[in-house]
């Protein structure tokens, strides 16, 4: 049993709760830093996807998880960042300038979408962002002088101040750097008045207003900041995917981002990272299972002499090869998460942590969901 | 010139005159209570004062400033704080975060300094925390400091709302039914706190309340409303004995 011994107000606004907390994060950092030395290029590439998706996750977490504004159009901001970055690079601009411009353009478009959003709530806002995403995708395919339309746009690996990030491992570190910066900046906002104002808007607009929060300004800031992060992620995304085409930034990608934050756990930055691990690693996991299940099962069948196991393995392998299985599995997991663990992977993580920190006094009832009839529970 | 004056305030919702020419003055340092049967327009007056509704007629003057057209989020910085009848706390935040939000009107940081969490922001946050801790001590909420509001019982939430309103450093406190849903002991605590808020913190209180024992215990003056119109004003005893008030409550 461990408890946190607080002796100063500083502890509540620090980045880490205490030394133990900081040690764990230090360990995590060490693992993430030495990981590329121990993995093949394929897995380094997959881990890079996790970082890029995590930045997208933080972006959407700010908007959906903290401010309570649901967006179905975030793939558009990702696309704006990616295309802007690629275009300015093509014009011969230095990498840092192209990146800054991409973030600026994405931020500006975030504000433009955010302005009408001030007058809309709930599902109407979601539909407006969806419309925005559809329009932007159309712009990507039609504005051929900039985006090259469906012919596509190749993007080279980044060269920053003469340093080339050609290697998978070096690009891994670049993305990791940006993720850490994004997490730090977002955490800073969340522990200062802006973050509290977002949370207040999410939980009760009327009370937030009565406590002095200017709803219009803070909703706009949330939209702009979220779009800025998405633009940043878009620039990295462009390098990672190496070839931009309009149909990448479709509605399914937006849904995948929403899935990411819900499965990860709404209302926690950890959730954005957990969700990114899930969304980025599920497709390769399915691919691995598709190849390995029939082989393992037939091995088992041969050694035990039961032929049915081999047939079962083939059946599973064939099923996983079918088109659309991935989307189906995503959907199934989403349904299961909402039914069994509405707080997502982060919620589960909190339970595990509480189990160990209160051991052997853990009570399951601590997290028992109960029917409540107060205002917000009815609405949520 | 009185501290807070409401002058022939009216609002119509369609054809319904929810508040119809209400005039009253609140003096500095008094506890002024509005009573009336359900639907009399008590909460509507609060919503008009906190600028959630725009009045169709009349004038609100607070401490020499006309606040009839001030934006709702500007009201707090002028020194008016309120609680809500059906608790409007930020439920998926901790009690501490709820109270810290009430310091929003006193923030001196801008977006960039917060993004980088500069030392100035850190100092400001610590100052806000000290202000919040005073309210926590005042209302005995220490043990709930880090609890999420969803996990707190109703009575504690009610006190938390009061604490949140106090954290804005108000000059005028609007309490919308502070005792609704509370048991006898909690109502008694509430009565003591309202007195302390007036006597120790020097905050003027304007309150809407149904519990007549609480009203008589703490109010200096009472205004009775019916169908959006004032029917009596005076000391608690006078208003309770007023024939119009008795008719409004009992019919006849």
Set of chain A residues whose Cβ sits within 8 Å of the Cβ of B96: 12
Q: Name the residue ranges covered by the structural domains of chain A.
A: 10-266, 284-379
Q: What's the gap in Å between the CA of B120 and the closest CA on chain A?
A: 11
Q: CB contact, 8 Å: A215 with chain B?
A: yes
What are the structure tokens assigned to A250, written together? 């479709």
Q: Which residue has the higher pLDDT, A367 or B199?
A: B199
Look at B91 and A203 and tell me if their CB atoms are within 8 Å: yes
Q: How many residues does chain A have?
A: 380
Q: Would you call B201 an interface residue with chain A, using a CB distance cutoff of 8 Å? A: no
- All residues of chain B having their beta carbon less than 8 Å from the beta carbon of residue A188 are 114-117
B70 and B174, same domain (yes or no) = yes
Domain identity same for B175 and B164: no
Q: How many CB atoms lie within 10 A of CB A66?
A: 26
How close, in Å, is residue B246 to chain A by CA atoms? Answer: 34
Q: CA neighbours within 13 Å on the CB side: how many for B12?
A: 5
Which of B119, B135, B168 terminates a domain? The answer is: B168
Q: CB of A210 within 8 A of CB of B75?
A: yes
**Chain A contact for B97, CB < 8 A?**
yes
B121 in the same domain as B57? no
Q: Is A377 on the interface with B (CB under 8 A)?
A: yes
Is the residue at B117 inside a domain? yes
- Domain assignment of residue B15, yes or no: yes
Whether the ω angle into residue A360 lies within 30 degrees of 0, i.e. cis, is yes
Q: Which of B141, B168, B195 is the last residue of a domain?
A: B168
Q: Between B90, B116, B122, which is nearest A207 by CB?
A: B90
d(CA B139, CA B159): 7
**CB proximity A209 to B under 8 Å:** yes
Q: How far B72 CA lies from chain A's nearest CA (Å)?
A: 6
Interchain CB distance below 8 Å, B90 and A199: yes
User: CA B187, CA B185: separation in Å to the nearest integer?
Assistant: 5
Burial bucket for residue A35 (CB in 10 Å: 0-12, 13-18, 19+):
middle
Token digits of residue A351: 């339970």
Per-residue pLDDT at A374 exceeds 60? no
Residues with Cβ within 8 Å of residue A232, at least 6 apart in sequence: A55, A81, A99, A102, A103, A106, A178, A182
Task: Give CA–CA dist A295/A290, Å, rounded.
Answer: 9
Could you tell me if B179 and B156 lie in one domain?
Answer: no
Last residue of a domain, one of B145, B168, B191: B168
Residues 4-43 in B contacting A (C-alpha not used; CB under 8 Å): none
Percent of chain A with pLDDT over 90: 46
- Assigned token pair, A231: 């633009």
Q: What is the ipTM of this complex?
A: 0.92
Q: Is residue B238 part of a domain?
A: yes
pLDDT of residue A271: 92
Mean pLDDT on B149-153: 89
CA–CA distance from A45 to each of A167, A239, A315 (Å)? 10, 12, 30
Q: Are residues B136 and B242 in the same domain?
A: no
Using only C-alpha atoms, chain A has a radius of gyration, in whole angstroms, of: 23
Write out chain B residues lying below 8 Å of A189, CB-based. Answer: 114-115
Q: Is B115 on the interface with A (CB under 8 A)?
A: yes
Domain at B224, CATH number:
3.40.50.300
pLDDT of residue A363: 78
Structure-token pair, residue B121: 């922001």
Which residues lie below 8 Å from residue B159, measured CB to CB, with a gap of 6+?
B139, B141, B189, B190, B193
- Do B145 and B175 fall into the same domain? no
Please list every residue in chain B whose beta carbon sits closer than 8 Å to the beta carbon of residue A213: 73, 101, 104
Total Cβ atoms within 10 A of residue A260: 27
Residue given tokens 């001590």 in the structure block: B137
pLDDT band at B27 (very low <50, low <70, confident <90, very high): very high
Tell if the CB–CB gap between A192 and B129 is shorter than 8 Å: no
The residues facing B204 across adjacent strands are: B172
> What pLDDT is attached to residue A122?
79
Note whether B33 and B75 are same-domain residues: yes
* Residue B193 shares a structural domain with residue B132: no
* pLDDT tens per residue across span A274-301: 999 998 888 888 888 888 888 888 888 8
Which residues of chain A lie closer than 8 angstroms to B109, CB-CB? 192-193
Mutate to test the interface with B, among A192, A204, A228, A343 (most CBs of B within 10 A): A192
* Chain A interface includes B169 (CB < 8 A): no
Q: Cβ separation of B84 and A209 shorter than 8 Å?
A: no
Residues of chain B neighbouring A371 (CB-CB closer than 8 A): none
3-state helix, strand, coil in chain B (%, to 5): 40, 25, 35
- With 80 as the cut, is the pLDDT of residue A376 above it? no
Contacts of B114 in chain A (CB under 8 A): 188-189, 192-194
Q: Is there a single domain that holds both residue B197 and residue B164? A: no
For the whole model, what pTM was predicted?
A: 0.90
Closest to B93 (Cβ–Cβ): which among A194, A203, A372? A203
Token digits of residue A71? 């967006």
- In terms of CA atoms, which chain B residue is nearest residue A221? B111
CA distance B117 to chain A (A): 6
pLDDT value, residue A347: 87
Residue closest to B17 by CA, chosen among B39, B47, B50: B39
Across residues A34-43, what is the average pLDDT? Answer: 89
> Which residues of A are less than 8 Å from B88 in CB distance?
204, 206-207, 210, 375
Interface contact A12-B129, CB threshold 8 A: yes
B211 and B194 in a single domain? The answer is yes
* Structural domain boundaries, residue B174: 1-79+170-252
Which of A15, A193, A347 has the most B C-beta neighbours within 10 Å, making it the best mutation to test the interface with B? Answer: A193
Give the end-to-end CA distance of chain A in Å, rounded to a whole number. 33
- Does one domain contain both B128 and B252? no
Same domain flag for B177 and B245: yes
Question: Is B74 an interface residue toward A (CB < 8 Å)?
Answer: yes
Question: Contact B103/B132 with Cβ under 8 angstroms?
Answer: yes
Total of domains in chain B: 2
With beta carbons less than 8 A apart as the criterion, state whether A260 and A236 touch.
no
Inspect the interface and report whether the beta carbons of B93 and A200 lie closer than 8 Å. yes
Report the mean per-residue pLDDT for chain B. 91
- Number of helical (H) and strand (E) elements in chain B, helices listed first: 10, 10
Which band of pLDDT confidence, cut at 50, 70 and 90, is reported for residue A21?
Answer: confident
Is A194 at the interface with chain B, CB within 8 A? yes
* Distance between CA atoms of residues B111 and B105, nearest Å: 15
Q: What is the CATH number of domain A10-266?
A: 1.10.3470
* Cβ contact, residue pair A192, B121, below 8 Å: yes
The Cα A233–Cα B43 span in angstroms is: 48
Are A196 and B121 within 8 A, CB to CB? no
Interval A321-373: pLDDT, tens: 887 787 788 788 888 888 888 888 888 888 888 888 888 888 777 776 655 55
How distant, in Å, are the alpha carbons of A80, A145, B38 from that of A87? Answer: 10, 10, 64
Query: Beta strand pairing status for B204-208 and B31-35?
Result: parallel
Highest mean pLDDT among A222-236, A343-357, B64-78: A222-236
Average pLDDT score over chain A:
87
Q: Please give the average per-residue pLDDT across B15-29, as a whole number.
A: 91
Minimum mean pLDDT among A12-16, B33-37, B135-139: which range? A12-16
Q: Which of A201-215, A354-368, B135-149 bottoms out in mean pLDDT, i.e. has the lowest? A: A354-368
């Amino acid at each position: 049993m461990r408890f946190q011994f607080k002796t100063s107000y500083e502890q509540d606004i620090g980045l880490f709760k205490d030394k133990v907390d900081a040690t764990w994060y230090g360990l995590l950092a060490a693992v993430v830093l030495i990981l590329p030395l121990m993995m093949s290029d394929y897995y380094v590439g997959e881990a890079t996807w996790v970082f890029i998706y995590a930045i997208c996750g933080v972006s959407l977490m700010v908007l959906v998880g903290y401010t309570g504004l649901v967006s179905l159009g975030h793939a558009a901001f990702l696309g704006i960042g990616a295309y802007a970055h690629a275009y300015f690079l093509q014009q011969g601009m230095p990498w840092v300038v192209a990146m800054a411009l991409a973030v600026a353009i994405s931020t500006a478009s975030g504000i433009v979408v955010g302005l009408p959003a001030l007058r809309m709530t709930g599902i109407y806002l979601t539909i407006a962002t969806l419309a925005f995403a559809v329009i932007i995708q159309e712009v990507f395919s039609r504005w051929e002088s900039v985006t090259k339309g469906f012919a596509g746009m190749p993007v080279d690996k980044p060269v920053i101040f003469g340093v080339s990030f050609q290697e998978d491992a070096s690009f891994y570190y670049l993305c990791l750097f940006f993720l850490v910066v994004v997490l730090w900046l977002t955490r800073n906002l969340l522990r200062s008045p802006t973050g509290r104002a977002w949370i207040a808007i999410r939980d009760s607009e009327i009370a937030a207003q009565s406590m002095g929060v200017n709803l219009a300004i803070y909703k706009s800031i949330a939209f702009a900041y979220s779009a800025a992060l998405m633009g940043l992620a878009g620039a990295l995304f462009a390098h990672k995917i190496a070839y931009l085409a309009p149909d990448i930034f479709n509605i399914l990608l937006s849904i995948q981002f929403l899935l990411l934050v819900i499965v990860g756990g709404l209302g926690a930055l950890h959730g954005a990272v957990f969700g990114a691990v899930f969304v980025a690693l599920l497709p390769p996991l399915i691919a691995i299972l598709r190849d390995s299940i029939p082989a393992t099962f037939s091995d088992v069948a041969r050694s035990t002499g039961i032929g049915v196991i081999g047939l079962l393995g083939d059946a599973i392998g064939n099923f996983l090869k079918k088109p659309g299985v991935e989307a189906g599995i995503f959907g199934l997991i989403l349904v299961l998460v909402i039914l069994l663990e509405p707080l997502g992977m982060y919620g589960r993580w909190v339970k595990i942590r509480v189990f160990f920190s209160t051991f052997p006094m853990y009570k399951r009832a601590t997290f028992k969901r109960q029917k409540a009839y107060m205002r917000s529970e009815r609405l949520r | 010139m009185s501290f807070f004056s409401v002058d022939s305030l009216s609002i119509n919702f369609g054809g319904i005159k929810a508040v119809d020419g209400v005039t009253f003055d609140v003096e500095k340092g008094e506890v002024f209570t509005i009573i009336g049967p359900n639907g009399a327009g008590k909460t509507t007056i609060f919503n008009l004062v906190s600028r959630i509704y725009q009045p169709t007629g009349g004038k609100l003057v607070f401490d020499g400033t006309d606040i009839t057209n001030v934006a709702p989020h500007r009201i707090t910085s002028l020194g008016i704080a309120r609680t809500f009848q059906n608790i409007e706390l930020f439920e998926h935040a901790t009690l501490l975060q709820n109270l810290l939000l009430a310091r929003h009107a006193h923030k001196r940081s801008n977006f960039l300094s917060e993004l980088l969490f500069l030392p100035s922001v850190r100092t400001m946050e610590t100052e806000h925390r000290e202000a919040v801790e005073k309210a926590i001590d005042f209302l005995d909420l220490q043990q709930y400091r880090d609890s999420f509001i969803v996990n707190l019982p109703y009575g504690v939430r009610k006190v938390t709302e009061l604490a949140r309103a106090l954290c804005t450093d108000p000059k005028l406190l609007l309490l919308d039914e502070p005792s609704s849903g509370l048991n006898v002991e909690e109502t008694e605590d509430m009565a003591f706190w309202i007195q302390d808020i007036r006597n120790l913190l020097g905050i003027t209180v304007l309150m809407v309340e149904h519990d007549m024992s609480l009203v008589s215990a703490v109010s200096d003056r009472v205004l009775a409303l019916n169908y959006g119109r004032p029917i009596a004003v005076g000391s608690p005893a006078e208003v309770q004995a007023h024939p119009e008030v008795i008719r409004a409550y009992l019919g006849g």
